[in-house]
Amino acid sequence: MSIVTEARQGLAWSSVPGMENLAEMADLVTEFAAREHLMIVPAIPAAHDGPQVQLGLDEMDLPEFLELAGKLGGGAIYLQSVRFEPGEEEDLPDGAAGLLKYEGHISRVTVAFAAGGVMHFWEDEASWYVRWEVLTDPENSHGADGRLGDEERARRAGELAAALLADPKFRGDRGNRWRIAQQAISRDTDDWVSREAISQAGDQADRMAQEQYDQIEGQLDTLAAELLTSPAWQQARSAAARKQAAVRFLIPRADGFSPPALMRDELYARARDLAKANKTAGLDREASP
């Protein structure tokens, strides 16, 4: 089994819509270093010193980066995880106060290794931290150039929010909405318009998703039986893969919205218990004279 396959099994949650856990990413690097007998250096070299390659999720995921490190690097791997410590914040802008709940969580993970005199860097930030940075950056608090009137900004933000909400990726990946929106919005869009549109679209998506899953909650037993017959469930061999199957099964039944973790776990548990019950019933029938 390749390094990337093992790593992806360890990061099975990363492809589940609505999940984003940088602490598990850091743990994955630690496990990789132990397996490959590499020394972990708890710091990151200065990115501007010498030749370098900057990588992120747009180029490769963390398991692929670790496989690259296993093939090219040697001796050491650099790891730095940054915890969110907002300190004493006053007069927070709309939307930022709700992000204080992430205090103490890892907001950014950076991994690096050296090969042939070239530093290779990989980095990922939590989408909620990207949002915090934008909302609390005073340089961006009044938009790109201030030439748009308030009514025009509000109109553009509303239109952009509607476009984001119609995007299946935005609807189906709650944990990465901020990043998906940033990639979809033109770079020359007014900063205030961008932030307001993402905030509006996110709030509306949460409300719509909740409405969808409130209706689905009473159907979980029926859905669990259907899930058992799906190819994704039957081909899965691990709990993580079956939870992913549960997510993919639910999304089209909820108008494209990814499920809350509790809904996903409940459907998975009911399907698992039903599978065990069916197996027991089958054995009992075989044992009957």
pLDDT by residue (tens digit) across 23-62?
Answer: 888 888 999 889 888 899 888 877 555 678 877 766 778 8
Q: 105 with 83: CB under 8 angstroms?
A: yes
Tell me the average pLDDT of the chain: 80
SS3 of residue 75 by DSSP: coil
Give the model's pLDDT for residue 147: 53
Give the model's pLDDT for residue 13: 33
Q: 79 with 29: CB under 8 angstroms?
A: yes
Tell me what the mean pLDDT of segment 139-152 comes to: 55
Give the model's pLDDT for residue 192: 79
Give the model's pLDDT for residue 266: 93
Burial 145-162 (b: 16+ CB within 10 A, else e): eeebeeeebeebbeebbe
**What is the value of pTM for the model shown?**
0.50
Q: Cα–Cα distance between 165 and 14 in angstroms, integer?
A: 22
SS3 of residue 49 by DSSP: coil
Give the model's pLDDT for residue 148: 59
- CA-nearest of 102, 100, 106, 138 to 125 is 106
DSSP state of 171: H
